[in-house]
């Protein structure tokens, strides 16, 4: 029996939240239909910036989905028994976030009715075709993984399936990063560093999303979200992941600065190309990384509220980073003919602008709402919430 159905107040709150999430999804579908009917003219996108604000939300959800699975991997793959009660929610949240992100992608790219063509006809020289296989494969592995975690008779399968899920999600995040890394005409991308960068980002963003989900669902069920010792472990782990993400972002930009041909773009994205420098330095580095680290390391701010605030800031900082990375990277001119200048009525060779429209914002928020609805419904149907107290074993080799 799910903890969300044990009391009348929890059931009422569940239905209210489900209705609110469903309403946001309905509005997002309406916005997608509006953009589909009227075309790109009603969005902020143009011939140069072809991936807008919905892609920012979609990539965040997909990358966070990969990282959310890391909590289950710590228990099943690395033998940390303290994390095993958290594994079912970790797997469910991975499915929810991935589904929400793919919903936004399918609706934003246009012609969603042709999805069946993309799912049945593959060009194996295309990174997009590889990712279709990776996304569907993760859904299948997560379904088997969740089954093995919840069905005692299949408990022996949880470790091998968990190892497969861990390997698959690393490959999936590598594929998502490679979508950008293989775009050789874009000065912002075309780097082998983007794949490991996305893996590092997924660890921080996924754990932040998991922490917020665990706290929210436990509060809704009327139980404590964390054992004190486990909470301290998760705080440290989130801080380490945020530092790792900052490190890889710094290495990525330092590598670009080392190449003379990337100097102009780095100056644009980090100094002169408003609003991107403000979003990067204030949004991602300041509010999305430094402030969360201060909250996580400060000895007087060790409670769940401070950690939840840090996790929320990490998530908002992720959106700021992706806005700079995706949209700022497209605003910079394409290098179609290296060593030559190109000029035409399509603003070739010029920095382009982008202002997101309301339908784009609604579609992006709809993906978040869809993930929320799936996770909430799954937590109601399945016994996935960890008990309020989780014993931490003494230090020593895992058994």
pLDDT at 143: 94
pLDDT in tens, 179-192: 898 887 687 888 88
Residues 6+ apart with CB under 8 A from 383: 1, 2, 3, 88, 150
Q: Looking at 50-54, 230-234, 239-243, 390-394, which range is the least confident one?
A: 390-394
Q: Which of 186, 182, 234 is nearest to 208 (CA)?
A: 234
The pLDDT of residue 396 is 45
What is the average pLDDT value for the chain, to the nearest integer?
88
**Is the pLDDT assigned to residue 237 strictly greater than 70?**
yes
**pLDDT tens for each residue of 163-219:** 999 999 999 999 999 889 888 768 788 888 999 999 999 999 999 999 999 999 988
Phi and psi angles of residue 341, each rounded to the nearest 5 degrees, phi first: -95, 140
Which pLDDT value is given to residue 42? Answer: 92
The predicted pLDDT at position 398 comes to 42
Q: pLDDT of 93-133, one tens digit each? A: 999 999 999 999 999 887 777 777 777 777 777 777 888 88
Domains, the chain, in order of start with CATH, read 3-381 (1.20.1630.10)
Rounded distance between C-alpha atoms, residue 257 and residue 201, angstroms: 21
**Average pLDDT in the 224-246 region?**
90
Residue where the block lists tokens 């990174």: 127
Whether the ω angle into residue 320 lies within 30 degrees of 0, i.e. cis, is no
Q: What is the pTM of this model?
A: 0.91
Q: What is the C-alpha to C-alpha distance for residues 91 and 272, in angstroms, rounded to an integer?
A: 42
């Amino acid at each position: 029996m799910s903890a969300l159905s044990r009391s009348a107040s929890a059931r009422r709150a569940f239905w209210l939240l489900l209705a609110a999430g469903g309403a946001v999804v309905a509005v997002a579908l309406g916005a997608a239909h509006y953009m589909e009917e009227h075309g790109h003219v009603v969005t902020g996108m143009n011939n140069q910036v072809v991936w807008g604000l919905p892609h920012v939300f979609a990539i965040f959800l997909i990358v966070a989905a990969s990282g959310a699975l890391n909590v289950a991997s710590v228990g099943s793959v690395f033998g940390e028994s303290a994390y095993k009660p958290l594994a079912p929610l970790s797997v469910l949240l991975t499915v929810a976030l991935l589904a929400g992100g793919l919903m936004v992608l399918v609706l934003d790219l246009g012609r969603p009715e042709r999805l069946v063509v993309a799912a049945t006809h593959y060009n194996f020289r295309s990174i997009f075709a590889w990712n279709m296989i990776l996304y569907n494969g993760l859904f299948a592995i997560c379904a088997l993984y969740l089954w093995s975690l919840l069905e005692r008779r299949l408990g022996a399968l949880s470790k091998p399936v968990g190892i497969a899920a861990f390997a698959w999600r690393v490959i999936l995040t590598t594929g998502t990063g490679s979508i950008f890394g293989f775009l050789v005409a874009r000065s912002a991308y075309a780097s082998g560093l983007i794949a490991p960068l996305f893996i590092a980002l997924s660890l921080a963003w996924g754990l932040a999303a998991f922490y917020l989900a665990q706290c929210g669902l436990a509060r809704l069920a009327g139980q404590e979200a964390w054992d004190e010792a486990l909470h301290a472990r998760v705080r440290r782990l989130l801080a380490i992941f945020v530092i790792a993400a900052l490190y890889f972002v710094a290495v990525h930009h330092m590598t670009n600065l080392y190449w003379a041909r990337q100097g102009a773009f780095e100056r644009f994205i980090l100094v002169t190309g408003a609003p991107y420098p403000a979003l990067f330095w204030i949004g991602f580095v300041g509010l999305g990384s430094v402030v969360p680290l201060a909250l996580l390391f400060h000895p007087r701010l060790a409670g769940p509220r401070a950690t939840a605030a840090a996790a929320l800031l990490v998530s908002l900082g992720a959106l700021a980073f992706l806005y700079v990375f995706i949209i700022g990277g497209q605003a910079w001119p394409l290098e179609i003919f290296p060593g030559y200048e190109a000029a035409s009525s399509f603003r070739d060779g010029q920095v382009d602008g982008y202002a997101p429209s309301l339908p784009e914002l609604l579609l992006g928020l709809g993906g978040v709402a869809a993930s929320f609805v799936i996770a909430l419904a799954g937590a109601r149907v399945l016994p996935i919430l960890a008990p309020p107290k989780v014993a931490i074993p003494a230090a020593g080799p895992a058994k």
